[in-house]
């Protein structure tokens, strides 16, 4: 019983935060609610016994990625006038109604127990037997899936280098004061 | 106290374990909360008395109770009362909701992280085992890093919500600095995890009984201490306030209770990181060469032995708190670009090399043992 209460309180808060993310006019408010939503997703993971994934969820998404989002939004400082949305068109209204209907259909199916997710080979007991979450994930990533894992990290490195190259301005075109200012600004990046 | 320990343990044996653990968690939470909230006033006092000693001044030594001056120990109390009773000013152009929300984001992670710190050996009472940390997370190490990465929101939100250019500059500086130094901070702890082979903080402490982590991973220790100063925005890395450059940074528009909330958050954060430094590198609650079993034999009870461990941890944390003050009054503030190049060009490569070398040495040792 206690489990059910905890789960539904986390879940309803999560739904509330997610709705707030898409309905807030102020982008900073959306970002803060998104942080809350990511935190609650981590809570769901922790509740399911996946401590490692929960910690990584907070560490990476709430702690690193969202900070950068917030950074960009704060620096852009968008004019509130530009954020006013135009009135809803007929097409958009139709999409909204369809979304609500399909949501009702899915929730009815789930609550009737007709939609049951398959159970994987790593059950809670199996994980405990193999030395806990961290050990199981570590072994899977670095033994079974080591090549896809390394390829993915290489791809990310490539993306970082590419974005630096694109963002870098051509040094030769700058002259005089402009070049000095530029050098002072990005001096340490080079 | 008409209740003896035997009566208490006998009574405990008859109750459902869930409720006992819940009650124990609440008690532990209150104790830890009280300890962490008492640290900031003491630190404020120490932060004025210690530099006074260094500079051959007297420092605040007047405020006491009636005729007893108590070395000026009542000064923080007077300061707090003054802060609370000042008029609260919220700037007209501020984003009100976030302006009020920001201090919460500073205090909450600091108080949450300290719940994972093991304050002693798990206590056995009436057949139940009570861990001496408020929450016992198997991935305590990751939990600590994850929650402390949230603190950056408070400062950047405060900077933005004040709608003041100095605040925004301070907030941006602080968040860039905290993100940059979080990476070497996390990296510096990986050798410790590699050496002890666990993410459980209490397990890490248990393995440091005779040899402290600082002797096994000295470079990690240096990296951790440097990043510790940067993460809490303390001198010589207090760029976020930088009163000679940007008035008071993100704190410019904050006054009265909200200012004290930021203050509290900063000092609790320092206390948390001091406890963690003691846990990872100085053997946590362990007394060198005295095993927990001996301690139980001498004191006669596992609860008393664990409370002694708690005192030991607090003494070790106090050393780091003193280090914070010592460094603050010794080193001048860094320039912002120097701070960034130190973090990215020196600390990060060093931390990476440290991880690789430690891993290589461990593998070599393992191979030689086989």
Q: Is the pLDDT of residue A119 over 80?
A: no
Distances (CA, A) of B5 to A42, B1, B12, B121, B299: 40, 10, 10, 19, 14
Q: Is the pLDDT of residue A101 over 90?
A: yes
Across the interface, do A51 and B139 touch by the CB < 8 Å criterion? yes
pLDDT of residue B8: 62
The shortest C-alpha distance from A85 to chain B (Å) reads 21
pLDDT of residue A153: 92
Alpha carbon distance B166, B254 (integer Å): 12
Q: Which residue has the higher pLDDT, A177 or A42?
A: A42
Q: So what's the ipTM on this one? A: 0.77
pLDDT of residue B14: 63
Alpha carbon distance B196, B209 (integer Å): 12
pLDDT of residue A151: 94
Query: Which residues of chain B are at the A interface, by a Cβ-Cβ cutoff of 8 Å?
Result: 95, 97-98, 101, 137-139, 142-143, 145-147, 149-150, 152-153, 156-157, 160, 168, 171-172, 175, 179, 182, 199, 337, 340-341, 344-345
Q: Measure the N-to-C terminal CA separation of chain B; round to a whole number of Å.
A: 57
Q: Token pair of B35, please?
A: 């300890």
Give the position of tokens 């931390």.
B351
Across the interface, do B95 and A58 touch by the CB < 8 Å criterion? no
Alpha carbon distance B97, B242 (integer Å): 26
Q: Nearest to residue A71, comparing CAs of B176, B151, B182?
A: B176
pLDDT of residue B157: 84
Alpha carbon distance B46, B267 (integer Å): 12
Across the interface, do A187 and B142 touch by the CB < 8 Å criterion? no
pLDDT of residue B82: 85
Q: Is the pLDDT of residue A67 over 90?
A: no
Query: Which residues of chain A are at the B interface, by a Cβ-Cβ cutoff of 8 Å?
Result: 26, 28-29, 32, 35, 51-52, 55-56, 58-59, 62-64, 67-68, 70-71, 74-75, 132-134, 187-188
- In this prediction, residue A97 has a pLDDT band, given cuts at 50, 70 and 90, of very high
pLDDT of residue B109: 86
Q: Which residue has the higher pLDDT, A84 or B215?
A: B215
Work out the widest C-alpha separation in chain B, in whole angstroms: 71
Across the interface, do B168 and A74 touch by the CB < 8 Å criterion? yes
* Chain-centre distance for alpha carbon B286: 18
Question: Could you write out the DSSP letters of every residue in B112-163?
Answer: HHGGGS--SSPEEETTEEE-SSSS--TTHHHHHHHHHTTHHHHHHHHHHHTT
pLDDT of residue A178: 58
Alpha carbon distance B156, B170 (integer Å): 8
The shortest C-alpha distance from B345 to chain A (Å) reads 9
* Chain-centre distance for alpha carbon B252: 25
Q: Nearest to residue B147, comparing CAs of B49, B231, B261?
A: B231
- Collect the ranges in chain B with pLDDT lower than 50: 1-2
pLDDT of residue A175: 57
**Collapsed DSSP state (helix, strand, coil) of residue A62:** helix
Q: Average model confidence (pLDDT) for chain A?
A: 81
A chain contacts of residue B137, beta-carbon cutoff 8 Å: 51, 55
pLDDT of residue B1: 42
Alpha helices in A24-89 (DSSP H): 27-47, 51-56, 66-76
Across the interface, do B160 and A63 touch by the CB < 8 Å criterion? no
Region at B283 (left for phi over 0; alpha for psi -120 to 50; beta for the rest): left
- In this prediction, residue A184 has a pLDDT band, given cuts at 50, 70 and 90, of low
pLDDT of residue B216: 84
- In this prediction, residue A190 has a pLDDT band, given cuts at 50, 70 and 90, of very low
Q: What does the buried/exposed string (b/e) look like for A108-123 if buried means 16 or more CB atoms within 10 Å of the residue's CB?
A: eeeeeeeeeeeeeeee
Q: Which residue has the higher pLDDT, A111 or B218?
A: B218
Q: Token pair of B229, please?
A: 């100063």
Q: Nearest to residue B78, comparing CAs of B59, B54, B62?
A: B62
Give the mean model confidence (pLDDT) for residues A49-63.
85
pLDDT of residue A161: 92
The answer to pTM > 0.90 is no
**C-beta of residue B180 within 8 angstroms of C-beta of residue B340:** yes
pLDDT of residue A154: 93
- In this prediction, residue A182 has a pLDDT band, given cuts at 50, 70 and 90, of low
**Closest to A58 (Cβ–Cβ): which among B147, B152, B172?**
B147
**C-beta of residue B114 within 8 angstroms of C-beta of residue B32:** yes
């Amino acid at each position: 019983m206690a489990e059910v209460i905890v789960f539904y309180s986390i879940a309803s808060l999560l739904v509330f935060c997610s709705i707030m993310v898409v309905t807030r006019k102020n982008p900073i408010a959306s970002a803060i609610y998104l942080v809350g939503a990511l935190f609650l997703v981590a809570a769901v993971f922790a509740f399911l016994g996946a401590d490692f994934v929960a910690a990584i969820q907070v560490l990476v998404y709430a702690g690193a990625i969202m900070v950068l989002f917030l950074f960009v939004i704060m620096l852009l400082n968008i004019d509130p006038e530009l954020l006013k949305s135009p009135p809803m068109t007929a097409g958009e209204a139709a999409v909204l109604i369809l979304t609500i209907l399909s949501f009702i259909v899915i929730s009815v199916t789930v609550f009737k127990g007709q939609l049951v997710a398959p159970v994987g080979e790593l059950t809670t007991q199996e994980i405990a037997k193999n030395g806990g979450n961290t050990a199981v994930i570590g072994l899977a990533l670095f033994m079974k899936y080591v090549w896809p894992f390394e390829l993915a990290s290489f791809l990310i490195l490539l993306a970082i280098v590419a974005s630096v190259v694109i963002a870098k301005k051509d040094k030769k075109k700058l002259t005089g004061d402009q070049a000095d200012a530029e050098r002072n600004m990005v001096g340490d990046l080079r | 106290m008409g209740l003896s320990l035997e009566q208490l343990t006998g009574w405990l044996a008859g109750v459902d374990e869930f409720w006992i653990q819940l009650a124990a968690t609440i008690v532990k939470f209150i104790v830890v909360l009280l300890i962490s909230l008492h640290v900031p006033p003491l630190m404020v006092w120490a932060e004025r008395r210690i530099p006074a000693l260094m500079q051959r001044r007297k420092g605040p030594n007047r405020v006491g109770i009636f005729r007893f001056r108590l070395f000026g120990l009542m000064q923080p109390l007077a300061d707090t009362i003054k802060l609370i009773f000042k008029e609260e000013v919220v700037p007209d152009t501020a984003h009100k909701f976030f302006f009020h929300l920001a201090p919460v984001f500073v205090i909450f992670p600091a108080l949450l992280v300290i719940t994972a710190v093991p304050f002693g050996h798990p206590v056995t009472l009436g057949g139940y085992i009570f861990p001496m940390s408020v929450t016992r997370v198997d991935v305590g190490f990751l939990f600590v890093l994850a929650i402390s990465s949230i603190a950056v929101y408070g400062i950047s939100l405060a900077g933005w919500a004040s709608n003041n250019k100095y605040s925004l500059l301070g907030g941006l500086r602080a968040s860039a600095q905290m993100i940059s130094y979080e990476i070497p901070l996390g990296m510096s702890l990986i050798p410790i995890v590699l050496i002890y082979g666990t993410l459980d903080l209490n397990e890490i402490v248990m393995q440091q009984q005779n040899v402290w982590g600082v002797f096994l991973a000295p470079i990690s220790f240096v990296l951790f201490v440097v990043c510790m100063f940067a993460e809490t925005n303390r001198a010589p890395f207090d760029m976020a306030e930088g009163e000679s450059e940007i008035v008071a940074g993100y704190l410019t528009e904050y006054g009265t209770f909200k200012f004290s909330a930021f203050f509290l958050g900063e000092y609790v954060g320092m206390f948390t990181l001091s406890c963690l430094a003691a846990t990872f590198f100085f053997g946590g609650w362990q007394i060198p060469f005295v095993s927990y079993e001996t301690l139980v034999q001498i004191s006669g009870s596992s609860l008393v032995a664990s409370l002694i461990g708690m005192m030991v941890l607090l003494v070790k944390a106090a050393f780091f708190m003193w280090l914070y003050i010592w460094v603050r009054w010794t080193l001048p503030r860094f320039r912002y670009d120097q701070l960034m190049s130190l973090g990215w060009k020196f600390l990060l490569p060093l931390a990476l090399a440290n991880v690789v070398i430690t891993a290589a040495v461990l593998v070599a040792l393992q191979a030689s043992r086989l």
